[in-house]
Amino acid sequence: MSNRSIGLDEPLYRYLLDHSLREPDLLAELRAETAVLPEANMQIAPEQGQFMALLARLMGAKRYLEIGTFTGYSALAIALALPEDGEIVTLDQSAEWTATAQSYWERAGVDGRIRLELGEARDSLRALEATGEMDTFDLAFIDADKTGYHDYFEHCLRLVRPGGLILVDNTLWHGTVADPDDARDDTCAIRAFNDALHHDERIDLSLVPIGDGLTLARRR
Ligand SMILES: C[S@@+](CC[C@H](N)C(=O)[O-])C[C@H]1O[C@@H](n2cnc3c(N)ncnc32)[C@H](O)[C@@H]1O
């Protein structure tokens, strides 16, 4: 018995995957293709994709906004969980990585419901607000440059409807947020972000220790 979250060593993590992961073949293939890239660790963990897809289904989400597409894993995981008339807007600045994403979305037959906006995320977010998409998203996922998290979160609070959910990735940042000797820009940005959300009265909050730490913020 315990009244605190359990840590996962390698055998226990393996057990978790072996006894709960239901990764569709195409997602597994995308994960394998991405694994050869030097930046492969930017991709979310498969159990996190499954968890996010479950949240989308629980909410009956139809519109999903994503900041940080990379090779398309999280967008595909959510696309497979949305209804036929679901819509995804995903933002990234890399034409190269998102070309892989688009090929997998096509193969999965979900490309018609995914709108990729290439460019600087802040510009795309400002454009979404300017074109009347405020309060229209059910679910958002922030997973791009860490020093941008504060701005991305403020945009998402306007773009997600009241009662909608904002997910934020890497909020435990490999454990370094709790290391007082780590003063790198990304670590400091995530610490400041976590502190700001802790007492933010505009949201309901939970920081879930899945993947690299996933914050759930429900817009009140
Ligand atoms: C951690 S990866 C996203 C991983 C993805 N969600 C997945 O499931 O595989 C971060 C992505 O954010 C993009 N990115 C970083 N800074 C950005 C910015 N300022 N504007 C737009 N995209 C950015 C990068 O090109 C990269 O593809």
Asked, for residue 5, whether it belongs to a domain, the answer is no
| Rounded Cα–Cα distance for residues 162 and 151 (Å) | 19
Residue range 76-97, pLDDT digits in tens: 999 999 999 999 999 999 999 9
Asked, for residue 86, whether it belongs to a domain, the answer is yes
Q: Specify the pLDDT at position 220.
A: 98
> Alpha carbon of 98 to those of 101, 136, 174: distances in Å?
5, 24, 25
Residue range 28-55, pLDDT digits in tens: 999 999 999 999 999 999 999 999 999 9
Work out how many domains the chain is built from and give that number.
Answer: 1
Residues with CB under 6 A from ligand 1: 42-44, 68-71, 73-74, 91-94, 97, 120-121, 143-145, 148
| Rounded Cα–Cα distance for residues 164 and 168 (Å) | 13
The CATH number of residue 92's host domain is 3.40.50.150
DSSP state of 177: G
Largest pairwise CA distance in the chain:
52
Q: Average pLDDT in the 145-161 region? A: 98
Pairing of strands 203-208, 214-219: antiparallel
Q: Specify the pLDDT at position 1.
A: 67
Asked, for residue 51, whether it belongs to a domain, the answer is yes
Tell me the three state secondary structure of residue 63.
strand
Q: Are 104 and 80 in contact (CB under 8 A)?
A: no
**Ligand 1, atom nearest to 44 Cα:** 8
